[in-house]
Structure 1
């Protein structure tokens, strides 16, 4: 039988030896933006959002066409996926940067020491001045009380589900945690309103708002802690139990310290969620212009409620105060996250070299 000799020129290479330079994606991006602006201006489109979407589409298509001609169709598909990842990242980060820039540019002109250390007592809505101290104090107290209520319950529930939970009870707890995760904040506020104020007649207070915030916080703590505990290798548990350590001490000394970084992050995510809630505070805390240091008696204020009330007034002075309170709220959440990262790094298990 005769054999046909296949020369290297007859083979279709799977991978192309040619490679695009590193600066090629940047050039494609600039060309896509320029072409998008030209198309939009020619069509009479003035929306910058349309310009961005057209530029993103042109960038993906341009990356595929150029890569296919230089490196081959196989590498072009990989380049398209990479381009889509970058486009999605930019689409996600642009609104966040826009929000941060708008809040900082509008709030920085009013946030100062006076604004942070004074309340709205005896300040008219149309007058300049006033501050956010009473709302900041209320937010700190309400979030702290809600955390004291929700964090231990959430942690213990997660430990039960991961370490002990089996059978119908565990399935029922998991089901109700899932249901609570989707509860709107207004529903939690209405529940506490009907129980604490209408039935028990205990009046408006920061503590009433804290109980509603704790209801919203608990399922987030449970779910995040549960996932972190599941990531702890079973070998660590088995090694501890093999040495005769009781199960409860294994959980306290091995499992939780190993997952403390993720647990702290989950707790901070829950705190960040409830810090910006307005509806339960509006229903239960009621709002106040004066400083109230007692969260268990009388109406209080909070930062999100302060923002809502000041912006609803509609005057130039009140809108400026609303932007200042919004910036203070963002800074408050950022500081909490930085503290949580520090605690997580400090308490994380040390690995020897």
Structure 2
């Protein structure tokens, strides 16, 4: 009895120590996160102006805006979503509905997990060799393809998980009525998992919106206005990187303003994704 009581106290002490260390680590992480977020919002808000959204990126030492960079980022993200969303949803559907218990399904999930955790700079180098070297120049197309490779595994994983959460009773009930399997997938399963799949797409958009490394190797930059994806294209992450590393105060202010806008955009996407998840769970 005494030994049992002693063992219980020992476990309690270990639990308290572990909880204390975990709480301290969490608090330390939150302090640095709040510091970074606060600095970005404070300095970025001070640098906001109408010119930010109406003027082009300026030459060294001059004032201007980020209109071409915002448009370039938007075009490449739209291209990435257009390429990655259909492929990701179809691939996730195959994994969830047509490869259950098969070795190929596990292999695809394993490869997708590798791609999900791959450093973005590696993907940028891959697309550089695949597209940029073959065409002989940087382009918005190459940037969109690089972002699509980062976007794709998130959507595959989310679609797979959301469809597997749909109860088998719904599949069996629809199939028992003689409905073809593809119609069951489109009319029953997609409707049930639509909120979760959309949440995954939004989270993937939030992830690729701030990627810098792959765009340095693919889209690079362009000081002038262009909507031609076949040409080098300005984008917010690369502009922020270049302007933040420059010695010019005007460029530093634009970098803070661009970081502020991107932070607000990502926060809104994250909040929207969380709201969709809560709405789904409330049903």
When normalised by structure 1's length, the TM-score is: 0.70
The residue number in structure 2 matching 1:176 is 111
Structure 2: gaps (5+ residues): 3-8
Contact 1:189 1:283 in 2 (8 A): yes
The residue number in structure 2 matching 1:97 is 34
* Residue 332 (str. 1) matches residue 265 (str. 2): yes
* Residue 142 (str. 1) matches residue 142 (str. 2): no
TM-superposed CA distance for 1:86, in Å, is 4.5
Q: 1:130 aligns with which of 57, 64, 77?
A: 64
Q: Structure 1's 178 and 343: CA in aligned 2 closer, same or farther, altered over 3 A? A: closer
* Residue 187 (str. 1) matches residue 105 (str. 2): no
When normalised by structure 2's length, the TM-score is: 0.86
RMSD: 2.8
Give the secondary structure class of the aligned counterpart of 1:109. helix
The structure in which a higher percent of residues are helix is 2
Contact 1:261 1:345 in 2 (8 A): no
Structure 1: gaps (5+ residues): 1-11, 13-71
Q: Which structure 2 residues correspond to residues 66-105 of structure 1 after superposition, within 5 A?
A: 86-105=23-42
The residue number in structure 2 matching 1:284 is 218
Contact 1:258 1:349 in 2 (8 A): no
Q: Once the two structures are superposed, what CA deviation does each residue of 1:190-239 show, in whole Å capped at 9, x if it has no partner?
A: 222222232244x3221110001111111121112222222222222222
- Tell which has more relative contact order, 1 or 2 (C-alpha 8 A, sep 6+): 2
Q: Once the two structures are superposed, what CA deviation does each residue of 1:117-168 show, in whole Å capped at 9, x if it has no partner?
A: 2112xx33222x2111111111111011101101111111111011101534
Give the secondary structure class of the aligned counterpart of 2:56. coil
TM-superposed CA distance for 1:335, in Å, is 3.3
The residue number in structure 2 matching 1:167 is 102
The residue number in structure 1 matching 2:170 is 236
TM-superposed CA distance for 1:324, in Å, is 1.0
* Matched residue count: 278
Cα separation, 1, equivalents of 2:235 and 2:47: 18
Q: Structure 1's 85 and 141: CA in aligned 2 closer, same or farther, altered over 3 A? A: same
TM-superposed CA distance for 1:258, in Å, is 2.0
The residue number in structure 1 matching 2:231 is 298
